[in-house]
Every structure is written in structure tokens, then in C-alpha cells.
Structure 1
Amino acid sequence: MADPSPLLCQSHSRTDDQESSDQRSHKQSISSLDEIVEQGIGGFGWAQFVQAILVSLASLFDSQQSFINVYTEAEPTWHCLNNTTCSSASNICMLPKSSWAWDGNPTTTALTIISEWGLECSSAFIKGLPAASHFTGRLLGIVFLATLADSSLGRKNLLFLSCLTMSVATSLTIFSNNLWIYSLLRFFSGISRTTIGTCTIVLLTEKVGTEWRGQEGILDSFFFTIGTLTLPAIAYTNRSSSWRIIYLWTSIPTLVYSGLLYIFVSESPRWLFMQGRREEAVEVIKSLSPIRDSNQLSLSLVSAVSFRHEPAASSKESSFLSSIRELFVRRWALERTLALMVLGFGIGVVYYGVTLGIGNLGFDIYLGVVFNALLEIPSFFLTFFLIQKWNRKSSLLVLFIISGICSIMAVVANDISNAGKRMRIGLELASLFSAYIAYTVIFIYAIELFPTCVRNSATSIMRLAITFATIFSSVLVAAGSNNEFVSYGVFGLVIICCGFFVICLPETRGSSLCDTMDQQEHKDSVTV
């Protein structure tokens, strides 16, 4: 009787040969990390949707801390107690304390820090110290922390630590007993939240394929707007309570969210591959993949494990500033970085400047923020169309020019007649509407311009330019209180001039994401 084992072994051998042949052919078809990611998570399934929501929630809490000072550091209204020595037109600093009182709950005088610490007659420097401290913290955070997302910590860990420290700093702010401690805690809050915006959008876009990259970028901006809308609701509900209550209701949800983020959010598979942690990257792709065919997914993962790529940590010099240095060493990277900084400065001037200008038109302190946020909602629908149908360069150039022209025409319309003032408001809103769209598009554009190893750092540098634009625009708004051209006219000229720098950048719509500087350089040379 013949031994059946050889037949069995032969059968297994043929099967193994067939499988290995399939795997080899599949590996040969994959030439880059981007193709591995595209085949594994190129679609969009429920797992990716849940991850997108969890990551985007960070922007909601970040938005609340961006505008919380509007309510906690504002000067409350007051009323006279003695009409013989006091009138509503009187200078509060020239009146005795016994002749007037703050409006609101008579048992609660600490509606804001101004009323609690008696800062109503203090200098502009003292009143603006908390905001200046927060702004300084943001600048230092961008310079020293943003690169950690590209090097040692990664996107998820830095996002988690940023949200956690922001919630702790916000919670401790409740116990401030003087302006100096309050300003110090606002400084730490500024440092912690400065990396949330960049980590969020980078982590979102690196977990999906090219087809869904733009939609993920819009989701980040959408949740930022939701945060802007929920903050006035919290402040209005507690308008008769202490300013500490607002910090309480914004810090506790952030603390809970930090725990959820750490447990349920996964790291970027691109960053894991760059660090040489391929097995972890495979597990992330497996958990996110919408592919129904298990065989096809298995082949993709086998190719991913076998994919040869030197991790970023093996470079000759690996420090937390190495990614920043890479942006300024190579000429093409330097040109893109400088162009993005100019574009970011231009859009930041209008994005924040016009918002501050509208706030000075006498709108209600609660409704003013709500109206500005509601204006962003229709901009998302138009942005969704633009990123699918229009090129990045042409859409940004058109948006910059429209925003600038509307801002300049707002000054002219105001000088024509009283009826032109209504037209001026419409033109200001049109300028702001274009700026909202450009703000979202430019962040998606920045992500596509740079490889994985420096993507978060490059995006952070552009955000740094936007932050500097905030200073510039706020100064112009204050200087243009008696001359609109000094503010809105300059806004328009600046954004139009900055917009033409987009010509220096390459088009990226529909292109794959690169992962190393050499790969990006090779891709650009082939494209040219």
C-alpha cells in the first residue's frame, strides 16, 4: 500500500508555493508606504468614523479655551446706588465705591476677574496680562513642543498630553486668588493647547486614504466651530455666577475626554512605520481597515510587515529639533515653509482681525460669538465642494483675492453714505466667510506638501505665523477705531499680497502622501 503522506506533503507544498507566489506578486505591486496604507485603510469604514469623531473632539475643547477669556476677563456692567453722586455717564474710576455696584446677582460680585480683583481702573497692561501670558505660552509651545509629534512622542501621545495638561491647568485656574497666579496658569494653558490643533488634523488625515483626506480636515474645523457655539451657551447659563464656574464646566469634560482618548484612539500607522514599529502599525491598520475580504487584507498586512524602510530614529542626528532643521536645510522645503508662513500670516490677519472688528460693532457679547461661529457652518459645505473639485492653488488664490477685495470695499462702502453701513457689514461677512474657507483649505494643503517625518512640524510653523498675525490684526483693530482703512483696508491689502505666494507652491490635490524627505524630493523631481 502506497504511503499517502507524500501526496499530502506535495499538496501542501503546492498550496504553500501558490500562496508564497501570490504574496510575492502582491509585495512587488507595493512600492511605497503610501500604497500600503491606501490598500489597507484607503476606504472609510465605521472604525475610521469612530476614530475621526474621537480625535476631532479635541478641537471642541481647544476652541472653548481659545475664547473663554471673552467671558472671564470682560468688564461687567454696573449701576448707580446713589443717584446724587453717580450717573450712568460717570467715569467709574472717579466715583466712590459706595455709590455704584456691579450688575447681576447681588450675592456674587466675582462675575469676572475684573470685578473680583478690582481691576476696573487698572492699566491696559494689567488687564491684558492674562491674554498676553496665554499668547506667550502658545508661541513657546509651538517652538518647543510641536516637533515631538514627529519624533519621540507621536501624534496620539502628544495630543493626549496636551489635552490632559490643558484640563489640569484649566482646573487649577479655578483656585486662583490673584491676577498673577491666574496669568501664570493661563500661560501654562497656552503652552499645553498649542499642539492640539496640528496633532488633531495630522492624526485625522493620516488614518485615511487620499479620497477621504479633505473630508477629515473639514471635520476638525467643524468640531472647532461646535466648541465656539457651546461656550456662549455655558457662559450664558452661568452669567449670574462666578467666572470660576465657566472654567469648571469646560475643564471636567476635557479631563474625561483625555481618558477616552488615551484608551480608544490609535496612533497614526504612518508615524509607527517611520519609527520602525511595523507590528504596531499593522495592528492599527487591521483595526481600521474597511476591507471585507480577509485574504486581501492579510496580503496587505504581510506586505506591510515585510516592507523595508529605515526608521526615522536611525538618522545620524535624532533630536526633538531635527524635524525643524530639516525644513530649513533643503531648499525646496525652505521655499515651501516660507511660502506657507506668508500665506498663514495673510489668512490669520483677516480670520482674526475681521472677527475682532465685528465684535466692536456693538453686538451682544454672547450673540456676537454665536453669529461668528454660525457663519462657519455654511463654509464647511462649500469647502467640501472645493477640495473635491478645485485645485488647492487656484482655490486659495481666489479665496484670498475675494476676501481682500471685500475687506477693502467695506471701507469704501462705509464712506459713501449711512445706507452703506449695512453694505459694509455684508462685505465684512463675505470677507470673513472667504477667510473661513481658506483657513480650512490651507491646513489640508500644508499636510499634503510635506512628508510624514516633518508634517506636524511644518503645520505648526504655519500656525506660528497665524499666531503672529493675531497680534498684528489686534493692533490694527485698536488703531483703526477712528479710521477704518487702517484696519479693514490694510487687512485687504495684506491678504491679497500674501495670496500670490501660493504660486510658488506645487499642486497636491489627489496626490499621495510621502513619508521621508528623500521620497518627497524624488517625487517632486519626477513630477517636474
Structure 2
Amino acid sequence: MATSASLLSKSQLSSDIETSDNQEQDSLDDTIEKYIEGFGPAQYLQVILVSLAFLFDGQQTFISDFSDAVPSWHCTDFSNQTCYSSSNFCNLSKSEWAWDEPESSSIVSDWALECGSSVIVGLPASSYFVGSLIGGFSLATLADSWLGRKKLLFLTCLGMSTMALITAFTTNVWMYSGLRFASGIFRASIGTCVVVLSTEMAGKKWGGFVRVVGFLFFAIGALSLPPIAYLNRGSSWRYLYFYTSIPAIFYCIIAYFFVSESPRWLYMQGREDEAVAILNKMVPNKKISSSILKSAYKPLDPEKWNFNIYSSMKSLFERRWALKRMLVVMTLGFGVGTAYYGMFLGVGSLGFNIYLSVTLTASLTILSNLLIPFVLETFNRRSSVVALGIVSGTCCIVCAIIGDELKAIQIVMSLASAFSSCAALNVMQIYTTELFPTCVRISATSMFRQAVNFGPIFVPLLVSAARRNNSVVYGVFGSVVISCIFFVIFLPETKGLSLSNAMYEQEKKDSINAYVS
């Protein structure tokens, strides 16, 4: 029999939940939701413009598959049986073999790196991800503080594209690696800005769709590389950087003038008039005023003013629940990111046509992205991440076990792993934006993406070191993702829950949800 104290406690909690629900109904998020839920043409255009940055990010991320590839070669003397029986040209004299294409087709042949150490060969690609890691930590907080989402997106995309253009003029592997490092620093916040800015411009109903649009553009960027590289075959690798960087610079100029800032972020920064103007421009058939927003959201915590560029990061680390979530999502990001980038950056080690390999991998990731709305609608976040992560890791391990003996099966397993890891990564990116409130969402998402970038630092080195035994590499990929994926059990489920704006709102929701569950 329940005691009067327990009945009173439950009655009080019920009252608190009702009060909280009423506040939710009058919250800034729900008020804005009423005006943008229809997802009109202006919002659609904004999402497309923002997401295009992901296309150029995808190109720069995977361009090394072609610019840094080891070209095919042939024996120069038909009567030399030693040459034909050898699978390693480093054991032959230079006069016994030659490249199938001009030396300028790859940095490996251009700078005679073919017999160099695996560290040197993999250095440029690794430098790119080291830069991404550093750039993510140093630039992410600017989007939550005084710079904002739009300006950071513009500056980072422009910086990445400019560094890529300068890369075409490098004369040795050290300059090349340095510029790839600089390009990585700038690109680090592009994906974070795209995901968060798109999410905050769309209503809850369309949130999953607009985030998937960004992921699709990233995959399209990777898919655009094989035809560009194929048309450029026989020419210098430098043209790949010209063809991808110049359009990106033009895009940055267009984005600067036509992309709008997040109205949610503007209001949280106290810029109500700008937020109202953007909302009215996005949804011209509905008019909203500053007074409506002010009546909907009355901040009780000074943390909403993120003028200190590190205040959002401080908020993440000074609260135990936020720190726990951050460490878990970073662990998941490291595991899934290792498998995802490993499938792309290691695709050339399978001994399959590189143009076809990248095309198939990118095409499957597009299909994976298209299925994300269905996955988000049908399954909860945690079970989706676990299932997809296990499939990806298992396929990697199967690749390692069967080795080169069953080449067709190995290729199918690698494609299946790429498909699953891409889906898991995209679900995790969406999941992360739902786990943290507006005031720290960019910083939290960026920390997750930096963990994703940590694994790929070692992937090029592993691939280069195991050029003649890729089974070891795939075994590592599979073991890492399976080891990390089960940490998701330490995260709360977020499916169907509304986004919070401030830390105290998130804490109140979590306490209520924890009791109810």
C-alpha cells in the first residue's frame, strides 16, 4: 500500500511534469516550430546552400585516393622473367620497369615515393586528419559564441578551398603535407556547421530530412571524384586540386551573401530583431514579432550569452552528465569513424580498379544516407547504432579472415562495411545534436566529429604499411568499431524528444524522463 508521502511525491512530480509540459508548449523551440514547420521554398533553398559545403568537404577528404595513389606499372623487357615473377617493383632495378601513366599522375610517382617508408607515403593523408583534429578543438566554440554558424561555415570552407588551390603548386611531399594539414584545420568545422545550421532552420518534422541532405552532399562529393580523376588520367595530379578548389571558392562567395544565420542562435545571443527578420524571410506567409519570442522564452540562466568563446566548452566539462555524454559519443565517433574512413581510404589496397571501387563505395553510402530517415523513424537511436556498428565490424573481420583468396567476397564485405559504417556515423551525428542543448550544440557536435577524425589519422599509415597484407588492416578496423559500439548503452534515448536551448532545460528534461522511464 502506498504511503501518503509517496502519493504526495508522485502528485508533486505529476504537477511538476505538467508545469514543465506547459513551459515546453511556450518554449522558444516550440514557438519557432509553429512558424517553420511547413518547410517552405525559402527554407529548402537555405538547406541546399548550406549543405553544398559538404560536397566540397567530401572531395577534399577523399581526394588522396587518387592524388596519392600508387600507379600501376609494367615490365619494360618482355624477356625478363624475373620482372614478371615479381609483385614488388622495389626489388627490381629502375630500368626493368616503368609506370603505365606519366610520372606526374600521382605524388608517389612524381616525387619517387614508391619505395619510401610507409610513414612518408601515408603522411599527407594523415596530416589532413591531424589538422581536422586540431581545427575542430580550436574553431568549434566560435560557432556557439560570437562568430556564429554562418560566418564560421564561410570562413572554414573558404580556408579549406584556398589551401587546396595552393596545394597544386607544391614541389615536394613536405610542402604538400603541410598544406594538407592546413586544409584539414579549416575543414574541421564544416560538417558541424552544416548539420547544426540545417537542423536549426527546419522544423522538428523535417529535422531528419535536412540533416540527411548534408550527408548526401558529402557522399556526392566523394562520388564526383572518380569521374574527375578518370577524365584527368594521364595528366598531373595537380589538376585534381584545381578542379575541386576553384568551384568551392565560388560557392563560398555565393554562400556569404545568400545563407542566413540560425534564428535560434541569434535569439540566444540577444539579437532578437535579426532573428525575427530571418524567420519572417524564411516563412513570409507567417509573421512573428520580437514580443512573441520574448513571451515564449525568458532565460533564467546567464549561460545563454556565449560571448566568451570557451564558455560553451566549459559548460560541457563542468557538468558531470554532459561530460559523461561527451566522452561516450567521442568513443563511438572514434570507433565508427575508423571503420568508415578505413573503407574509403583503404579501398585501393584491395587490388580492384580504383575508379570503380570508389564509385561503388560512394554510391552505397548515398543509398545508406537515403535510408537514414526510415531508420530514424522506425528504430530508436541506440539500437540503430549498435546494429549498424556490429554489421560494419563483422564485415571488416570477414574481409580479414578470407584474405585475398576470395577476392569477390572480400570486395562485397568491404562495401557492406562501408554502407553500415556510413549509416551508423550519420545516425550518431544526428543523435549527438539531440543529446545537447542549443547553447553548446556546435561544441558538442564538433567534439564528436574530432573523435571521428582521430581514427583516420592512423588509417593511411596502416594501409601504407600493409600494402601487401591488407587483411591485417581490415581486422583492426573491425575490432575497433565492435569494441567501441557498445558504449552507446550509457546514453539516454532521444527519439521523439524536443530539443533544449539551455543547459538547465536539458537537466530538467533528463530528470523527468529518468523518473518516468
What TM-score does the superposition give when structure 2 sets the normalisation length?
Answer: 0.86
Kept after mapping to 2: 8 A contact 1:276/1:309: no
Kept after mapping to 1: 8 A contact 2:123/2:460: no
**1:209–1:404 Cα change, 3 Å:** same
- Once the two structures are overlaid, the 10-residue window that deviates more, 347-356 or 52-61, is 347-356
Kept after mapping to 1: 8 A contact 2:396/2:414: yes
The answer to whether structure 1 residue 452 and structure 2 residue 438 are counterparts is yes
Q: Distance in 2 between matches of 1:355 and 1:396?
A: 20
The answer to whether structure 1 residue 522 and structure 2 residue 505 are counterparts is no
Counterpart position of 2:42 = 47
What letter matches 1:102 in structure 2? W
**1:430–1:182 Cα change, 3 Å:** closer
Counterpart position of 1:257 = 251
Q: Pick one of 239, 242, 248 that aligns with 1:248.
A: 242
Q: Distance in 2 between matches of 1:97 and 1:29?
A: 73
Counterpart position of 1:119 = 113
Q: Pick one of 72, 81, 87 that aligns with 1:77.
A: 72
**1:462–1:100 Cα change, 3 Å:** same
Counterpart position of 2:204 = 210
What letter matches 1:323 in structure 2? S
Kept after mapping to 1: 8 A contact 2:394/2:478: yes
Residues 352-403 of structure 1: CA distance to partner in whole angstroms, max 9, x if unpaired?
2344554322111211111101111221232121111221122222222333
**1:103–1:459 Cα change, 3 Å:** same
Q: Distance in 1 between matches of 2:110 and 2:469?
A: 35
Q: Distance in 2 between matches of 1:469 and 1:402?
A: 19
Kept after mapping to 1: 8 A contact 2:141/2:313: yes
**1:502–1:84 Cα change, 3 Å:** closer
Q: Distance in 2 between matches of 1:424 and 1:79?
A: 26
Percent identity over the alignment is: 50
Residues 403-432 of structure 1: CA distance to partner in whole angstroms, max 9, x if unpaired?
3344445555x28x96x6644544443333
Counterpart position of 2:387 = 398
Kept after mapping to 1: 8 A contact 2:333/2:452: yes
Q: Pick one of 487, 494, 501 that aligns with 2:487.
A: 501
Counterpart position of 1:104 = 101
Q: Distance in 1 between matches of 2:301 and 2:358?
A: 43
- Once the two structures are overlaid, the 10-residue window that deviates more, 91-100 or 135-144, is 91-100
Q: Pick one of 160, 163, 170 that aligns with 2:164.
A: 170
The answer to whether structure 1 residue 188 and structure 2 residue 159 are counterparts is no
What are the within-5 Å matches in structure 2 for residues 76-475 of structure 1?
A: 76-79=71-74, 87=83, 92=89, 101-104=98-101, 109-289=103-283, 292=285, 294=286, 297-298=287-288, 302-304=291-293, 309=298, 318-411=307-400, 414=402, 422-471=408-457, 473=459
**1:255–1:450 Cα change, 3 Å:** same
**1:177–1:434 Cα change, 3 Å:** closer
Kept after mapping to 2: 8 A contact 1:347/1:466: yes
Q: Once the 2 structures are TM-superposed, how far is the Cα of residue 185 of structure 1 from its aligned partner?
A: 1.5
Q: Once the 2 structures are TM-superposed, how far is the Cα of residue 463 of structure 1 from its aligned partner?
A: 1.3
| SS of aligned partner of 2:439 | coil
What are the within-5 Å matches in structure 2 for residues 4-83 of structure 1?
A: 31-79=26-74
What are the within-5 Å matches in structure 2 for residues 473-512 of structure 1?
A: 473=459, 486-512=472-498
Q: Once the 2 structures are TM-superposed, how far is the Cα of residue 30 of structure 1 from its aligned partner?
A: 5.9
Kept after mapping to 2: 8 A contact 1:275/1:313: no
What letter matches 1:260 in structure 2? I
- Once the two structures are overlaid, the 10-residue window that deviates more, 396-405 or 35-44, is 396-405
Q: Once the 2 structures are TM-superposed, how far is the Cα of residue 438 of structure 1 from its aligned partner?
A: 1.1
What letter matches 1:506 in structure 2? P
Kept after mapping to 1: 8 A contact 2:303/2:502: no
Q: Once the 2 structures are TM-superposed, how far is the Cα of residue 139 of structure 1 from its aligned partner?
A: 1.5
What letter matches 2:253 in structure 1? G
Kept after mapping to 1: 8 A contact 2:71/2:100: yes
Residues 138-192 of structure 1: CA distance to partner in whole angstroms, max 9, x if unpaired?
1210111111111121111000001111111111112222333222211211111
**1:483–1:52 Cα change, 3 Å:** same
Q: How many residues align?
A: 491
What TM-score does the superposition give when structure 1 sets the normalisation length?
Answer: 0.84
Residues 339-360 of structure 1: CA distance to partner in whole angstroms, max 9, x if unpaired?
1112112212322234455432
Q: Once the 2 structures are TM-superposed, how far is the Cα of residue 200 of structure 1 from its aligned partner?
A: 0.7
What letter matches 2:292 in structure 1? S
Kept after mapping to 1: 8 A contact 2:381/2:427: yes
Q: Distance in 1 between matches of 2:97 and 2:462?
A: 34
Q: Once the 2 structures are TM-superposed, how far is the Cα of residue 508 of structure 1 from its aligned partner?
A: 1.3
Larger Rg: 1
Kept after mapping to 2: 8 A contact 1:479/1:487: no
What letter matches 1:441 in structure 2? V
Q: Distance in 2 between matches of 1:345 and 1:150?
A: 23
Kept after mapping to 2: 8 A contact 1:411/1:489: yes
Report the aligned-residue RMSD: 3.0
Gaps of 5+ in 1: 1-26
Q: Once the 2 structures are TM-superposed, how far is the Cα of residue 61 of structure 1 from its aligned partner?
A: 0.3
Q: Once the 2 structures are TM-superposed, how far is the Cα of residue 334 of structure 1 from its aligned partner?
A: 0.9
Q: Once the 2 structures are TM-superposed, how far is the Cα of residue 245 of structure 1 from its aligned partner?
A: 1.0
Kept after mapping to 2: 8 A contact 1:282/1:305: no
